[in-house]
Amino acid sequence: MVNGEKITIEIRGAGLGYNGRAILHGIDLEIVAGDIVCLLGQNGAGKTTLFRTMLGFIRPVYGSVMLAGREVSSLSARQIARMVSYVPQSYVMPFPYKVSDVVLFGRSVHLGLFASPGSRDRKIAAECLDLLGMGHLFSRPFNELSGGERQMVIIARSLAQEARFMILDEPASNLDYGNQVRVIRKIRELAGRSIGILMATHHPDHAFMAASRVAVLSGGTLSHNGSPEAMLTPETLRHVYGVEVDVFDTPPNGHASRRVCAPVVE
Amino acid sequence: MKGVSLILLCVVVLAGLSLLSLGIGRYPVSPVAILSWLFSGECADRNLPVVLLGIRIPRLIAAVSAGGALAISGAAYQGLFRNPMVSPDILGVSSGSGFGAAMAILLSMPVATVQLMSFAGGITAVMAAVAVSRVIGRNNDSVLVLVLSGIVISSLFGALLSLLKYIADPLDKLPAITYWLMGSFADIRTAELGTAVVMVLAGTIPLLLVSWRVNVLSFGEEEARSLGMHTGLMRVVIIVCATLVTASMISVCGIIGWVGLVVPHISRFMAGANHRRNMPVSFLVGAGFMVAVDTIARSAAPVEIPIGIITAVLGAPFFIWIMKRSSARAW
């Protein structure tokens, strides 16, 4: 990590897609360390395409996608992974790895070709697990954890990678209500440690809870990009999701007032 | 148990099994006599060095190399393809290598060429299995599609192998190919064995060095890349090394099934899933298993039993047990 300098992910006038055909056009997005950007959009709106481009799996069709001032497509997987980590949707692993191993896998990018992790790597991995409040799971098999615990462990792995940015693909989906809130809280904590976060979500409420900015993918482009309060109006939500949604502020009850959405069901 | 002490324990058990195996046979030798001959170079029995140097030690080396090679390549394939159901047999590597080697034997080619053809056959088979599974599965690399593709490729090479047997000279080449295919260490010649052992080392050492990376690869292409791995290069290195060790042993001792599938599961129970520990433990457990099986093969009956028959008889029920156990808890 470079200190002092402002590190950003910067997408400028980019078209993104596969085999030279852009499915997303005119994308402009900037993420600074410490930001939480929530990415909303229907299934198939192109969230995965955007992520895959930012992680260097596919090249932009046109325009530029820059990571700390350099084109992502000119960087190696190793260089990218030192700056951006990725948290996929929760899943079951093919092998019964222990939680401690899974978090250690995040250290791979800092190891030589033939090396395996040393005591310093183990210490960092244990700290990351503790930071997410999952230290007690250290020697459990990953596949026997609950969905919420698995998600936290994968976030810990991502943290162990010590990258400045973290991309999360629907981190709260498939989790029960309590775990959704816990994951969102942890993500806010991570941003406080000046990690830049881009997370996809299906719930506009998650954006109100956590995001400093919200970006909405619809109609093949980023249709909205700004603060959640300014962007997530009943009109926008109707436009994106096709349903009526009320948006209002919670009454003050000891906590800070916060904006929430309530879909209209009748 | 800590990784290092588990590996040491495996080494000790392998050494013990080897010592027992050297003593057992038509001409029994006591382990004490073997040890005193090994360390002092002297022994009362003048036949002992002849029996050991001429017959049993080369066989022991062959069994250790073959068992270790098949098991570690099975562990590597399973990790690489993130699929606990694959092995050199199931991916078609064994029958591909067998076909390559049989072709070379049929054409009376020199040892080095047999090795090369065996490797070429093995690598062709595994590439074909992967290609077929990509086409069928449209990149959603499911466990079952790769297994089925491997079975298809394996039976294709099996058919080609039958064709070679059909056209082979029934008096001379056919018995040689048939017997060799069933798997045996009885016909090991020192020159062949030397070449094969060098090949096994040339493949095993890189596999052990990159064993940590196999863990990362087992998360799949894109996730491994997001963890900073140059996946394309690493996949090539692992496939080439795993195929090299399998093919080089198959070319000298025939097709020995099941070891590459079953042993990585056993060592996963012992050492955990982490390939950093699982791969060396697989090698040692595979080697020990093969030493035991070879000892049974040459001493249980008046006539030597082909190794492949014993490994199948032991491996099949064991694998059913593993599947039952594993399906109770997620892999």
Residue A3 pLDDT > 70? no
Is A5:A157 a contact under the CB 8 Å cutoff? Answer: no
Question: pLDDT tens, A113-162?
Answer: 888 899 999 999 999 999 999 999 999 999 999 989 999 999 999 999 99
Q: Which residues in B lie closer than 8 A to residue A95 (C-beta atoms)?
A: 79, 82, 84, 218, 268, 273, 331
Report d(CA B199, CA B66) in Å as an integer. Answer: 11
The pLDDT value recorded for residue A2 is 45
Nearest residue to A132 via CA among A77, A200, A195: A195
Nearest Cα of chain A lies from the Cα of B205 at a distance, in angstroms, of 11
User: Could you tell me which CATH number the domain at B3-28+57-328 has?
Assistant: 1.10.3470.10
- Model confidence at A175, in pLDDT bands (50, 70, 90)? confident
**Which residue, chain included where needed, has tokens 């932009």?**
A60
Is B307:B255 a contact under the CB 8 Å cutoff? Answer: no
The pLDDT value recorded for residue B331 is 41
Question: pLDDT tens, B81-122?
Answer: 988 889 999 999 999 999 999 999 899 898 889 999 999 999
Is A116:B274 a contact under the CB 8 Å cutoff? Answer: no
Residue of B nearest to A101 (CA): B274
Report d(CA A134, CA A56) in Å as an integer. Answer: 30
Task: Say if the Cβ atoms of B212 and A115 lie within 8 Å.
Answer: yes
Torsion of CA A185, A186, A190, A191, to 10 degrees: -20
Tokens describing residue B27: 């001409």
Which of A19-23, A169-173, A210-214, B189-193 has the least mean pLDDT?
B189-193
Residue of A nearest to B215 (CA): A105
Is A208:A225 a contact under the CB 8 Å cutoff? Answer: no
* Helix, strand, coil distribution of chain A in percent, nearest 5: 35, 25, 35
Q: Which residues in A lie closer than 8 A to residue B82 (C-beta atoms)?
A: 94-95
Mean per-residue pLDDT, A200-215 = 92
Is A36:A212 a contact under the CB 8 Å cutoff? Answer: yes
DSSP string, A239-266: HHHSS-EEEEEPPPSSSPP-EEEEE---
Report d(CA B95, CA A170) in Å as an integer. Answer: 44
How many Cβ atoms sit within 10 Å of the Cβ of residue B26?
9
Report d(CA B312, CA B296) in Å as an integer. Answer: 14
The pLDDT value recorded for residue B140 is 60
Question: pLDDT tens, B260-306?
Answer: 999 999 999 899 999 999 999 999 999 999 999 999 999 998 888 98
Element (H, E) at A247: strand A245-249
The pLDDT value recorded for residue B327 is 61
The pLDDT value recorded for residue B330 is 43
Domain boundaries, chain A: 8-263
DSSP string, B170-203: TTTHHHHHHHHHT--STT--HHHHHHHHHHHHHH
The answer, as to whether pTM is greater than 0.80, is yes
Nearest Cα of chain B lies from the Cα of A217 at a distance, in angstroms, of 23
Tokens describing residue B43: 């022994």
Which CATH superfamily is A8-263 part of?
A: P-loop containing nucleotide triphosphate hydrolases (3.40.50.300)
C-alpha distances out from residue A157 to A59, A104, A173, B216, Å: 26, 7, 19, 12
Helix (H, G, I), strand (E, B) or coil at A24: strand
Of B140 and B269, more confident: B269
Element (H, E) at A248: strand A245-249
Nearest to B226 among A86, A101, A111 (CB): A86
Domain boundaries, chain B: 3-28+57-328
Residue of B nearest to A161 (CA): B227
The pLDDT value recorded for residue B139 is 57
Question: pLDDT tens, A68-108?
Answer: 999 999 999 999 999 999 999 877 788 999 999 999 999 99
ipTM value, please give it. Answer: 0.90
Report d(CA A64, CA A57) in Å as an integer. Answer: 15
Q: Which amino acid is at A249?
A: D
Is A171:A187 a contact under the CB 8 Å cutoff? Answer: yes
Is B94:B81 a contact under the CB 8 Å cutoff? Answer: no
Q: Which residues in A lie closer than 8 A to residue B223 (C-beta atoms)?
A: 86, 88
How many Cβ atoms sit within 10 Å of the Cβ of residue A259?
16
Task: Say if the Cβ atoms of B230 and A77 lie within 8 Å.
Answer: yes
**Which residue, chain included where needed, has tokens 């019964």?**
A96
Element (H, E) at A149: helix A147-160
Residue of B nearest to A91 (CA): B219
- How many Cβ pairs within 8 Å bridge chains A and B? 95
- Model confidence at B183, in pLDDT bands (50, 70, 90)? confident
The pLDDT value recorded for residue B134 is 85
Mean per-residue pLDDT, B61-66 = 96
Q: Which residues in A lie closer than 8 A to residue B228 (C-beta atoms)?
A: 77-78, 80-82, 108-109, 161
Orientation of helix B259-271 relative to helix B57-80, angle to 10°: 80
Mean per-residue pLDDT, A209-230 = 91
Is A210:A34 a contact under the CB 8 Å cutoff? Answer: no
Q: What percent of chain B has pLDDT over 70?
A: 96
Helix (H, G, I), strand (E, B) or coil at B276: helix
Task: For an interface test with B, give the residue of A116, A165, A168 to mutate (most B CBs within 10 A).
Answer: A116
Q: Which residues in A lie closer than 8 A to residue B268 (C-beta atoms)?
A: 95-96
Residue of A nearest to B85 (CA): A94
Task: Say if the Cβ atoms of B219 and A111 lie within 8 Å.
Answer: no
Residue B28 pLDDT > 70? yes
Nearest to A101 among B83, B226, B274 (CB): B274
Nearest residue to A152 via CA among A127, A183, A188: A183
Report d(CA A235, CA A222) in Å as an integer. Answer: 16
